[in-house]
Amino acid sequence: MTETLLRIEGLKTHFFTEAGIVKAVDGVSFDIRKGESLGLVGESGSGKTVTALSVLRIIPKPGKLVEGKIEFKGENLLEKNEQEMQSIRGREIAMIFQDPSSSLNPVYNIETQLRDVLLAHKSMSKEECHGKIIELMNLVGIPEAEIRLREYPHQFSGGMKQRVAIGRALALQPTLLFADEPTTSLDVTIQAQVLELLEDLKRKLGMSLVMITHDMGIIAKMCTRVVVMYAGHVSEIAKTEDLYDHPRHPYTASLLAAVPRLDRKQTLSIIPGNIPNLIEPPSGCRFHPRCKYATKKCSEALPMLEEVDSDHFVACYEWKNITLKGASGKSD
Amino acid sequence: MNLKINKKITKQKRRSASQWAVAWRRFKRNKAGVAGLFIVLAVVFVGIFGDMLAPYPAFPDPKALTPFYNGDVRTPPNSKYLLGTDTLGTDVLSNILHGTKYALYVGVVVTAITMAIAIVVGAVAGYFGSWIDNVLMRITEVFLVFPSLLFILVFVRVFTLGAGAGGTFNFLGINIPIGLTIVIIVLAVFNWPGNARMIRGEFLRVRELEFIEAEKALGASNKRIIFRHILPNILSSIIVVASLTIAYAILLEAAVSFLGFGDVNTVTWGQILENNFSDMRIVWWAEVFPGLAILITVFGFNLLGDGLADALNPRLRD
């Protein structure tokens, strides 16, 4: 088994709003291994973005990291002070965001923004810096780098902007990159290019990639292992093939069934109901009100993750008793 | 033939797309704004060279009363005194020319002090929020609730009496009137709260933009985010408000002087108005021309401010 790079244990991040305490992440545990592509999948509101923000400890107010442990390279990130975290962010752990149009500062040209990141963590001469920036631009595939460097974000297309954002995040060669829906706002052809770029860079730099998305197709293409989240909890963790062929959690099976398919005619399958209110979530398993296999036990206590197969974990009381269809439509 | 065209295209220099370059190109097309700029430049020119251009020096220099000793008190505009002489026997044109630098002194310094305080307060309140925002906003509210002109007049009078004003102090080789400086400080003290609220609003807006989150994720400190990321993004609003504040400050000082609370020994435009007010029926030129100077100057700064506002926002097309 490959070495663990980052381990999250019992993470709880709550938002203390006027309407109540929103338990966005309410007891999440999983690990990220060296050099892997981990998918973090779930609906909007499942807590996947907040989990990534919690690792970097940049949770916006009124959010607060309430409980848990995050071990990175042998140290607990939750015990570090703000200055220590600032030196980790961008340098060891980085993140790219969904909308590239708004994730770059509009008043500085690209070179200045990249230079800022480099000089914030390392000191180097102007020429060295410039050289590194050209290297980065080439790495992320931006043509005519010398000219484009002096341009402003609004002069780039969406795909190009995302490449710049990726370049900025990888400027210091972090060991772990969180990619929060990096292709959601791009059109499909550009999407493919950006995903390929991420894969390529991951290999070249030997880093771990956490792909946060709600798109099961991207997971299938990019990730070797998947963590499925629902309403602030982890419902299933498995290797991608395992997850797609032998899902063990009803929610995962519903997600797979909901992907529209071109190869066969079927009505679009939906998951009935809505994601739960995170201020007053349902008792026990958060999915039980929408689950067709739910029993009384499911509404009483929260199921814990248990090992179902090699490197396959599920948080469900009924997994032994149910057979679920995989992505190919065949059941076990 | 085709080769020639291609070469032409690649040789074209790419126009800078920085917000300033874009804004300047937009500004040039705004006739009113450009007119305002010319007026302001003209005023600045007179402010710098006024003392040299004026035929007579200004009070309290005794030579200012030369027309008086010549018996030319209250003469209407003629070939000798282009804008006439006023009720004290001084040349109106000279007074206006000398007064220009004071108007600019007031405008610029009040604005500088106001913006300095407003930016600090607005940044702290807008960026950090919570209790410090509360405290700072309640303080600004105190200023905004009270009738500021009244308080300005009272404070100016109190401090002027206290400072035994009438003299000048020396700063970097220039003699600066104390009384006028007191007026400036009081004006600034009552002006910063309004601007602070505006800047706080801008901080609140920019703080929520996604690139701020991205910079945090890259390890930027609060200080870095405030100075390097938020401030440059609100610079356009600051510039616009600053130019409008200059106009406002000049007008306000004229009002304070006109009401008799200004520095009697310094011939600002408002002070000229105050000096000749009682004899206005006879010496109308001594009221009208300084009044016109105030009007044109304030109008110029307002036009400039408006032009800048249009040019700087929207500055980018996404």
- Among A117, A147, A155, the residue with its CB nearest the CB of B218 is A117
Residue B61: predicted pLDDT: 79
Contact assignment for B316 to A154 by CB distance below 8 Å: yes
Q: Report if residue B317 sits inside a domain.
A: no
Distance from CA of B97 to the nearest CA of A (A): 41
Q: Are residues A155 and A14 in the same domain?
A: yes
Residue A223: predicted pLDDT: 93
Contact assignment for A58 to B224 by CB distance below 8 Å: no
Map residue B114 onto helix, strand or coil. helix
Q: Report if residue B1 sits inside a domain.
A: no
ω before A60 within 30° of 0 (cis)?
Answer: no
Give A 198-237 residues with CB within 8 A of chain B.
Answer: none
Token pair belonging to A284:
């026990």
Angle at B309 between CA B306 and CA B315, to 5 degrees: 150
Is the distance from CB of A201 to CB of A211 less than 8 angstroms? no
Residue B46: predicted pLDDT: 93
Q: Tell me the pLDDT band of B317, cut-offs 50, 70 and 90.
A: very low
Per the structure, the complete domain to which residue B303 belongs is given by 33-54+81-312
Q: Report if residue B72 sits inside a domain.
A: no
Q: Are residues A200 and A271 in the same domain?
A: no
Contact assignment for B19 to A107 by CB distance below 8 Å: yes
Pairs from B173-179 (Cβ < 8 Å, separation ≥ 24): B176/B105, B177/B102, B177/B263, B177/B265, B177/B266, B178/B263, B179/B262, B179/B263, B179/B264, B179/B265, B179/B266
**At CB < 8 Å, which residues of chain B contact A?**
14, 17-19, 129, 209-211, 213-221, 224, 228-229, 232-233, 235, 316-318
β A4-17/B168-171 pair status: unpaired
Query: What are the residues whose beta carbons fall under 8 Å from the beta carbon of B14, sequence distance 6 or more?
Result: A147, A151
Q: Report if residue B303 sits inside a domain.
A: yes
Q: Is the pLDDT of residue B217 over 80?
A: yes
The span from the CA of A285 to the CA of A295, in Å, is: 10
Tens of pLDDT, residue by residue over B284-302, are 989 999 999 999 999 999 9
Per the structure, the complete domain to which residue A312 belongs is given by 231-332
Tokens 């994730």: give the residue.
A103
Residue A292: predicted pLDDT: 86
Tens of pLDDT, residue by residue over B152-179, are 999 988 888 876 656 777 777 778 888 8
Q: Which of A274-283, B189-198, B253-262 has the lowest mean pLDDT?
A: A274-283
The span from the CA of A150 to the CA of A146, in Å, is: 7
Tens of pLDDT, residue by residue over B53-74, are 888 888 777 888 888 888 888 8
A226-245 per-residue burial string, b: 16 or more CB within 10 A, e: under 16:
bbbbbbbbbbbbbbbebbbb
Is the distance from CB of A208 to CB of A173 less than 8 angstroms? no
ipTM above 0.95, yes or no: no
Of the residues A183, A199, A230, the one at which a domain ends: A230
Neighbouring C-beta atoms of residue B25, cutoff 10 Å: 12
Please list the ranges in chain A whose pLDDT falls under 50. 332
Q: What is the CA radius of gyration of chain B?
A: 24
For residue B15, give the nearest of A320, A216, A155 by alpha carbon. Answer: A155
Q: Tell me the pLDDT band of B318, cut-offs 50, 70 and 90.
A: very low
Contact assignment for B218 to A94 by CB distance below 8 Å: yes
Q: Report if residue B71 sits inside a domain.
A: no
Q: Report if residue B184 sits inside a domain.
A: yes
Q: Are residues A215 and A235 in the same domain?
A: no
Angle at B93 between CA B91 and CA B95, to 5 degrees: 70
Tell me the one-letter amino acid at B6: N
Contact assignment for A107 to B17 by CB distance below 8 Å: no
Partners of residue B129 in chain A, C-beta under 8 Å: 61
Q: Tell me the pLDDT band of B44, cut-offs 50, 70 and 90.
A: very high
The span from the CA of B32 to the CA of B248, in Å, is: 19
Q: Are residues A326 and A221 in the same domain?
A: no
- Among B209, B210, B219, the residue with its CB nearest the CB of A120 is B219
Tens of pLDDT, residue by residue over B101-137, are 999 999 999 999 999 999 999 999 999 988 999 999 9
Report chain A's terminal Cα–Cα distance, integer Å. 26
Q: Is the pLDDT of residue B13 over 80?
A: no
Residue A330: predicted pLDDT: 56
Contact assignment for A102 to B14 by CB distance below 8 Å: no
Q: Are residues A19 and A165 in the same domain?
A: yes
Q: Are residues A168 and A28 in the same domain?
A: yes
Is the distance from CB of A230 to CB of A236 less than 8 angstroms? no
β A208-213/A37-41 pair status: parallel
Q: What's the domain count of chain B? A: 1
Give A 60-119 residues with CB within 8 A of chain B.
Answer: 60-61, 83, 85-91, 94-97, 99, 101-109, 116-117
Contact assignment for B213 to A152 by CB distance below 8 Å: no
Q: Is the pLDDT of residue B147 over 80?
A: yes
A128 touches chain B (CB under 8 A): no
Is the distance from CB of B217 to CB of B272 less than 8 angstroms? no
DSSP A156-210: S-HHHHHHHHHHHHHTT--SEEEEESTTTTS-HHHHHHHHHHHHHHHHHHT-EEE
B223-248 per-residue burial string, b: 16 or more CB within 10 A, e: under 16:
ebbbebbbbebbebbbbbbbbbbbbb
Is the distance from CB of B101 to CB of B51 less than 8 angstroms? yes
Pairwise pLDDT comparison (B16 vs B298), residue with the higher score: B298
Token pair belonging to B98:
């000398």
Q: Is the pLDDT of residue B226 over 70?
A: yes
Residue A121: predicted pLDDT: 82
Give CA torsion, residues A163, A165, A169, A175, to 10 deg: -40
Map residue B51 onto helix, strand or coil. helix
Q: Are residues A197 and A283 in the same domain?
A: no
Residue A207: predicted pLDDT: 92
Q: Are residues A163 and A301 in the same domain?
A: no
Residue B304: predicted pLDDT: 93
Separation of CA A60 from chain center: 17
Q: Are residues A31 and A139 in the same domain?
A: yes
Of the residues A171, A197, A230, the one at which a domain ends: A230
Of the residues A230, A264, A288, the one at which a domain ends: A230
Map residue A213 onto helix, strand or coil. strand
CATH number reported for the structural domain that contains residue A76 in this entry:
3.40.50.300
Q: Are residues A236 and A222 in the same domain?
A: no
Residue A53 half-sphere exposure toward CB, CA atoms < 13 A:
22
For residue A14, give the nearest of A70, A53, A56 by alpha carbon. Answer: A53
Contact assignment for A120 to B209 by CB distance below 8 Å: no
CATH number reported for the structural domain that contains residue B215 in this entry:
1.10.3720.10
Q: Are residues A43 and A109 in the same domain?
A: yes
Q: Are residues A15 and A162 in the same domain?
A: yes
